Structure 1
Amino acid sequence: MTTAMSVPSRRKIFAFVVAALIVAAGIGWIVTQTSAQASEDTVLIHTGEATHAFKVEVVDTDAARARGLMFRQELAPNAGMLFDFLAERPASFWMENTFIPLDMIFARANGEIVRVHANAIPHDRTPIPSGEPVRFVLEIPGGRAAELGIEAGDTLEHPRATAE
């Protein structure tokens, strides 16, 4: 014997299925956007004394660069984010909506580090300029550059950095 389902019950099931599809589509969109905006890679920094490896997210779109490391609550000691502007240009950062102190390492297209800004202050809106045209900015945990002896004149190595 088959019983017919009431109209309100069908509507509830239909609403549940539609809601589930919307949630699934939203999750798929988030995964796609995250994948499209950042890829994981390794950056090597060569100082006069040693070579230091950082696992980084590479961001090279306007949207991904605008978000950067905002809202992150922690960053592993050998982790970071590599901003690739795809060509040398003046760059400027600020720390609004950033919860952790960061060192910013500014580098030319060939990987030569031209400036290190140490311990950018969380939530500070003061601009942090590159000082000259750069292609890359590597953000790492605040204090790590000094701890590892990273300074202007050192070299950032990554497949995107090109020799002149």
Structure 2
Amino acid sequence: MRTLWLAAFLAMSPMAALAQAACAPDRVDLRWADGRESFAVELADSPEERARGLMFRPQLDPGSGMLFVYESPRRAQFWMKNTLIPLDMIFADGTGRVTQVHSDAVPGDLTPIDGGPGVVFVLEINGGLAERLGIAPGADLRHPAVPSDSAVWPCED
């Protein structure tokens, strides 16, 4: 009986609410050997949303980003056409493992930024932030779009 009471208490605690809130469609969590960070995100999960991305925006709030979600693994290439702010692009595979980070993409640059093969997720955040935080290949990305049965960091954790 005491175990049942403790489980019910923990489920209602603020820590449990934080854990549940951390894995939501409008948030992405990242963890790596030396840190952990969460970003409020807009989803770009349709061809139209992915094509527009963060174009024409004069700023991106600190702690915010855009998560691009693809239906299947692919070689993802981005450019900065009509993008007004420098961005970091964090590329991840279908398990949520970060495979590549491109820092400080130059606004307006038409040079393709190649995320490599097997990309399913791309997180765009303010330019220079990934390096300042220490986000690098090998980091784990958590979001409800990452299938829990294959995720390196499932939402249930």
TM-score (norm 2): 0.77
Is 1:74 the counterpart of 2:59 in the alignment?
Answer: yes
Q: 1:101 aligns with which of 83, 86, 89?
A: 86
Alignment partner, residue 38 of structure 2? 53
Higher Cα Rg, which structure: 1
Structure 2, unmatched stretches of 5+, are 1-24, 151-157
Match of 1:129 among 105, 108, 114: 114
Residue from 119, 124, 130 that aligns with 1:145: 130
Q: Aligned partner of 1:105: which letter?
A: I
Shift of 1:131: 1.4
Equivalent residues of 2:101, 2:136 under 8 A apart: yes
Q: 1:87: Cα distance to partner?
A: 1.3
CA distance in 2, matches of 1:46, 1:96: 30
> For residues 135 and 66 of structure 1, what CA distance do their matches in structure 2 show?
15
Q: Which stretches in structure 1 are left out of the alignment for 5+ residues?
A: 1-39
Assess if the C-alpha contact under 8 Å between 2:86 and 2:105 holds in 1.
yes
Aligned length: 126
Aligned Cα root-mean-square deviation (Å): 1.3
Q: Which aligned runs of 4 or more in structure 1 are off by greater than 6 angstroms?
A: none
Q: Percent same amino acid among aligned pairs?
A: 49
TM-score, scaled relative to structure 1 = 0.74
**SS, match of residue 26 in structure 2:** strand
Q: Is the 8 Å Cα contact of residues 94 and 120 (structure 2) preserved in structure 1? A: yes
Decide which structure has greater helix share. 1
Deviations 1:87-145 (A, max 9, x none): 11111000010000000000001100000000000000000011122100000000000
